[in-house]
Amino acid sequence: MDDFYIIFGHELKSLAKSAKSTILSLALVSLFWGVFLSYNMLEFQNSIILIIVSAFVASSGFANVSFARERLSGAWEILLASGISRKTIFWAKFAFTQTATFFCGIITLTIAYSVMFIIFSSVPYYDLIFIDALLFFCTALSINAITAYFTIINVNMRAVQLINMLAISVCITAIHYVCDMNGGAYVFESWTDWAKIIAILLIPAIVFLFLCDRTLYDDKTTLPIVY
């Protein structure tokens, strides 16, 4: 576990030392999506789609950098030579990426709820606030897992973004189908419907995390990354 925290702490320090423009950009993205979400929270389908898209945007800001940085800089070989196992390196990086992405999401949702309270004098019910956060978390988990896997097997990073967009499109289409079956209701009568949506978002995460774990020791992981 000590090695895990060393890698996780290194990622935090790298983020803290990153250019101010990067942090400012993330703050502006959170502000934009928060305000935009606030005007769509009362319509379920609009809300869920925007939450999914905002998770995609936030994940892209962290996952690509976290999983590709050492291989681009040549520090990956040094990291492997340190004696820390590849699984520990991967899971520490993934934990950081997911934590950073979700923190960005919480800021976005907090801004959305605040704008709703100030302008519309209302906020979603507590259970829907929890669901919104869960939807963001699950979407980010899948996007981070997909990015990690295709970075590990050394797919061109421009193609990774297209693959992620395809995954998001499939998820949104499936969720639309669930909503249409329920008449597009904002508050579902059964938790089964929520479970279907969560499952749709989590299945890619489970599949690609499994693939990541299986391919960590593949020869492709030591090759220079393709951009």
Q: How many CB atoms lie within 10 A of CB 115?
A: 19
Contact criterion met (CB below 8 Å) for 84 and 3: yes
Helix, strand or coil, per DSSP, at residue 182 = coil
Q: What is the pLDDT of residues 177-214, one digit of tens each?
A: 777 665 554 445 566 777 888 888 899 899 999 998 88
Q: Which of 57, 54, 56, 70 is nearest to 14 (CA)?
A: 70
3-state secondary structure (DSSP) of residue 218: coil
CA 137-142-145 angle, 5° bins: 120
Count of Cβ atoms closer than 10 Å to residue 116 Cβ? 19
| pLDDT tens, position by position, 101-146 | 898 888 888 888 888 777 766 666 555 678 888 888 998 999 899 8
Q: What pTM was estimated for this model as a whole?
A: 0.84
